[in-house]
Structure 1
Amino acid sequence: MSSATSAEVAVGTAKLDVTPTHPVLLAGYGHRVGEYTAIDTPLWARAIAIGDDRPVVLVAVDNCGVPAGVVAEVRRKVAASGAFDPERLIVAATHTHNAPQLEGYAPVLWEGRDTTEQREHVAQYTKRLTDQIVEVATAAVRDRKPAELSWGQGKVMFGGNRRVMKDGKWVGFGFVEKAPVDHSLPAMFARRDGKVVAVWTNYACHCTSAGSENRVGGDWAGFAAKEIETAFPGANAVITIGCGADVGPQPSGNLDFSRRHGRAIAAEVAKLAAGELKPLNKAPEVDRRVIELPLSKVPGRDHWVSEAKRDGFEGRHAKRMLAQLNRDGKLPTSVPFPITVWKFDSDLAIAFLAGEMTVDYAVRLKHELDWERLWINGWCDDVPCYIPSRRVLAEGGYESDFSMIYYAWPSQFHPALEDDLVTTVKELVGDAFKTAQRAPDADLFLVPESAVPSMKK
């Protein structure tokens, strides 16, 4: 249902099974050893295309993260085919931790622990997935037909902040009740003759409810898509992830929890579909920018020589830094960060952000912009690393420090990254989406007192 009559917009969808057909290493957990041992559920790439002459296209892939190199190759192949404008393509990941490693993603995770054959298997899967992303995106563009497009926001509550603190510093992972989350569940619907033919929804939470066994599966996002497609026969369900890098599914640890969380998503989507939705009467305008997020002081060669003597990830990371110094004569001092915004007139702004976005960015942006007309996605067009807020940087811990080793960066971020990123999003979104009078519901963002300064200029 919608609150007003919608004009028809060209919409197309497609999906493709991307489950590995050969042995391959999985991304997501540093303690795993060897290639996957079983397949619990299939993996999918799902696409939606919106618009007539120059459609926008979103492909959501069941993977831990699709790196910039893969996205660039996808766009190159789309450009060569002439199927549509590759600059209007977004490639997102559901961040399931039970999908194959891709070349270029968190490279230190497997570096030095894999075999030549395993690297070849990763390369083989990466090439296949690249071609499949092109295929499913092109199929969605070809599938376009007039449809009524609308959207609304609901709420799902299974995400819980995972950063356990003591005396203002990070001490480990767990479930912290009174800490930042984003429980919003935006959902978009395409209908033809009253029938739902496509659903796209988003939730800010890690896709880790199945546990860390060395098995292939789509986690809660995969079950959510399956449940939605069962509820709306013939529809295609696209799932993306919001600013949930420090938010974990509660409870977690097995497939039953994944199913439970997937059903929660699907139930809220069904509730939204039966309620009053806001029509979107034309395809969105697109604006894109790549900014450089600053790193803090980068250590010199002596530091890396010393660190290279260590075992484990730290030693392998240091050797990689030394190799980069020998090759380039320097190490990077910033991280390239693509940001894209789709604007459906003044009705809805959708931000696509790269990396593993910590939840403070959702909290801040939805206070400084009109949260009722704002939709934020993470893990889009690249996953260079975690993107911590100023608060998370000050508290330290995995998301701000050790994870940069997995992602092969030479230092943690400079605190200026938060303002740089938020300012750019606000510029791209524009004045039409400035904060409305009504504040977000109290239970949408459970923000502790320590996080409030992060939301103020």
Structure 2
Amino acid sequence: MQCRHRISSTSLLILIVSLSVRSLIAGDLQIVPFNQDVTPELGQPVAYAPARKIVTPLYARGVVLLSDEAPVILCAVDAIGIGNEGYDTWRKKLAEAAGTTPERVAVHSLHQHDAPRIDFATGRILENEGLGGLKYDNAYGLQCIQKVASAIRKGLKQPQRVTHLGIGKAKVNKVASNRRLLGDDGKVRLMRWSKSKASEAINAPEGVIDPYLRSICFWNGEKPIAVLNYYATHPQSYYGQGDVNYEFVGMARESRNQALPGTLNVYFNGAAGNIAAGKYNNGEPEMRPVLAQRIEKAMQQAFESQQKVAVNSEDLHWKTEMTALPVAAHLDPEQLKSIVEDTSKTPRERASAAFNLVWYQRASQGHQIPITCLHLKSASILHLPGELFIEYQLKAQELAPGRTVCLAAYGDYGPGYICTEIAYSQGGYESSPRASQVAPHVEAVLNTVIEKLLKSTPEQ
């Protein structure tokens, strides 16, 4: 008779890696920065066109944190979105590399619009329909994961000690603006996209945004090892022709790397579903470096103004709430299947239907997404799915006024836009059936989870 408690090969591998990591950390807080090139090849699909030019490389970068708890991974990827099975696979494989569990891995896209999409289930559906490689390249996605996992394994051989944590904040001037301009009737009267040339959109107020960039810096004595930067905006200046690049947020990030040799700067996009640069960007190429300089300036100011405090392993706490998001009523699986199979539809229409079908099947079966929070001293970092509205970020900060709350959105890309409940009655693109695949009461669900995670700090 086989032993009922036999450990699987995968579980054994995680156990071995975890034990080896724990022998390294010896009670200290340690960090493993990683930075991996994930640039697609020419001809491979990026958001809206095949890659025709590589303007800048793309990266997946982040940190592994080693403490008395199991390892934690925070990873930011230059991609428009990583959803559904793609999101699950990234977390699973990175967890295996670090000897931890997928629930302790946060993977986020930066949402650049000249970068790839990754979702293996959607990719397989399209391959079966003869559309393989047009919108999704599964081989590329798997290769990215393998490269990043390898970089993590290599980095774990030389972890660095973290003695201090730095927390900084600075205002970003003339970048973010709210996309949804409301009329007197409370309905959306004008969408202000990532670029605007209409005077009405340019002259209208910024609207509801979070104007601050927040940073978390890990130090070993006087040496800054890694800086995590958090700001909320759609990162597009101009896009859509297949010119692969990491956009103005990536330019700012790389400039900070040059300014701080030997320090890894990582950028995470916040709750930017209804936020873009449209008030300050006319879509001309010369505006990209201008926007980048404004982000970079805030990164520099946040770094220079940071408050350093001593930190050790006992100061790290990771919390997870497995959460099922409510499915949008407009999703009709039979209709979605018919669109996928309809050869008269465009590849983009069929790919969108396939993506939504995959999300519907997962969500309607009760699939849960990990909503997580990393507590470090007086800082809390929330990790959430989808194209989240800025109101969630502002609400989270209100719930923990005594803490620095950073938020990374664009985790699991499957739900699409996650609006506030009232937004579903206001019109506009984000709350339309084309864009959002969750029901309006998603706001109550997420706010309850966010509050629970923020209230789970040791002192509470």
TM-score, length-normalised on structure 2? 0.78
Secondary structure of the residue aligned to 2:423 is: helix
Check whether the contact 1:385–1:403 (CA below 8 A) recurs between aligned residues: no
Distance (whole Å) between structure 2 residues aligned to residue 41 and residue 182 of structure 1? 28
**Aligned counterparts of 1:366 and 1:340: Cα–Cα separation in 2:** 15
For 1:421, give the aligned amino acid: L
| 1:173 counterpart residue number | 191
- Decide whether aligned partners of structure 1 residues 359 and 299 sit closer, same or farther in structure 2, where only a CA change above 3 A counts: closer
5+ unaligned residues in a row in structure 2: which ranges? 1-26, 193-200
Between the aligned partners of 2:367 and 2:380, the Cα distance in structure 1 is 25
1:45 matched to 2:60? yes
Inter-CA distance 302–277: structure 2 relative to 1 (3 Å threshold):
closer
Which of 371, 377, 396 pairs up with 1:339?
371
Deviations 1:365-402 (A, max 9, x none): 22233274211110125543111111221212211114
Residue correspondence of structure 1 range 367-406 to structure 2 within 5 A: 367-370=398-401, 372-404=403-435
Once the two structures are TM-superposed, the CA of residue 332 in structure 1 deviates from its matched residue by 2.9
1:25 maps to what in 2?
A: 45
Q: Which residue of 1 aligns with 2:210?
A: 182
> Offset of 1:121 from its aligned partner?
7.0
Distance 1:271 1:35, change over 3 A: same
The offset of 1:152, in angstroms, is 1.8
Asked if residue 197 in structure 1 is aligned to residue 225 in structure 2, the reply is yes
Q: Is the contact made by 2:231 and 2:269 (CA closer than 8 Å) also made in structure 1?
A: yes
Q: Give 1:26's aligned amino acid.
A: V
Q: Contact 2:42–2:52 (CA<8 Å) still a contact in 1? A: no
Q: Equivalent residue for 1:14?
A: 34
Report the CA distance shift for 1:387/1:56 in structure 2 as closer, same or farther (over 3 A): same
Give 1:299 deviation, angstroms.
Answer: 6.5
Per the alignment, residue 441 of structure 1 pairs with none
SS of the residue corresponding to residue 424 of structure 2 reads: helix
CA distance in 2, matches of 1:23, 1:318: 20
Q: Which residue of 1 aligns with 2:22?
A: none
TM-score of the superposed pair, with normalisation by structure 1: 0.78
In 2, Cα distance between equivalents of 1:50 and 1:80: 15
Deviation of the 1:173 alpha carbon: 2.6
Match of 1:291 in 2: 323
Pair 332,390 (structure 1): closer, same or farther in 2 beyond 3 Å? same
- Mapped partners of 1:290, 1:217: distance in 2: 34
SS at match of 1:366: helix
- Structure 1 counterpart of 2:205, one-letter code: E
Matched residues in 1 for 2:156 and 2:219: separation?
17
| Residue 272 of structure 1, aligned match among 284, 302, 324 | 302
Residues 336 and 354 in structure 2, CA contact (< 8 A), matched pair in contact too = no
How far residue 317 of structure 1 moved from its aligned partner, in angstroms, is 8.0
8 Å CA contact 2:116–2:136 kept in 1: the answer is no
State the 1:298 CA deviation: 4.6
Q: CA deviation at 1:223?
A: 0.4
1:230: how far off? 1.2
Q: Distance in 2 between matches of 1:182 and 1:219?
A: 20
Relative to structure 1, is the Cα distance of residues 433 and 377 closer, same or farther in structure 2, using a 3 angstrom cutoff? farther
Q: 1:427 to 1:216 in 2, by over 3 A?
A: same
**Matches for 1:317-356 after TM superposition, within 5 Å:** 332=364, 336-345=368-377, 347-356=378-387
| 1:383/1:253 CA distance change after superposition, 3 Å | farther
* Equivalent-residue separation in structure 2 for 1:19 and 1:301 (angstroms): 34
1:118 counterpart SS class: coil
Q: Describe the shift of the 1:306–1:165 C-alpha distance in structure 2 as closer, same or farther (beyond 3 A).
A: farther
**Within 1, Cα distance between the matches of 2:355 and 2:291?**
40
Match status 1:88 vs 2:113: no
* Aligned counterparts of 1:226 and 1:266: Cα–Cα separation in 2: 9
Q: Distance in 2 between matches of 1:292 and 1:349?
A: 22
User: What residue number does 1:133 align with?
Assistant: 148
Shift of 1:10: 1.4
Q: Kindly tell me: are residues 92 and 111 of structure 1, through their superposed partners in 2, closer, same or farther at Cα, counting changes over 3 Å?
A: same
* Identical-pair percentage: 21
1:161 corresponding residue in structure 2:
178
Kindly indicate whether the alpha-carbon contact (under 8 Å) linking 1:219 and 1:255 is maintained by their aligned counterparts in 2.
Answer: no
Deviations 1:7-59 (A, max 9, x none): 973122121111113421112xxxx4x41211111111112122245331111
Q: What CA distance in whole angstroms lies between the structure 1 residues aligned with 2:433 and 2:57?
A: 31
2:8 alignment partner in structure 1: none
Alignment check: 8 A CA contact 1:282 1:344 kept: no
| 1:419 aligned counterpart, secondary structure | helix
Q: Is the 8 A contact 2:325 2:363 kept in 1?
A: no
**How far is 1:268 from its partner?**
1.9
Question: What is the count of residue pairs matched by the alignment?
Answer: 413
Structure 2 vs 1, CA of residues 105 and 271 (structure 1 numbering), >3 Å: closer, same or farther? farther
The residue type paired with residue 150 of structure 1 is G
Instruction: Provide the C-alpha distance between the structure 2 equivalents of 1:424 and 1:56, rounded to a whole number of angstroms.
Output: 20
Instruction: Determine if the alignment matches structure 1 residue 213 to structure 2 residue 241.
Output: yes
5+ residue gaps, structure 1: 1-6, 436-457
Report the Cα distance in structure 2 between the residues aligned to 1:25 and 1:317, rounded to whole angstroms. 12
**Which letter maps to 1:23?**
G
Tell me whether 1:253 sits opposite 2:283 in the alignment: yes
Does residue 281 of the first structure (1) align with residue 298 of the second (2)? Answer: no
Q: Report if aligned partners of 2:82, 2:117 keep a CA contact under 8 Å in 1.
A: no
Pairwise CA distance, 1:262: 2.3
Per-residue deviation at 1:336? 4.2
The letter of the residue matching 1:273 is F
Distance in 1 (alpha carbons) for counterparts of 2:252 and 2:363: 41
CA separation in 2, counterparts of 1:51 and 1:129? 23
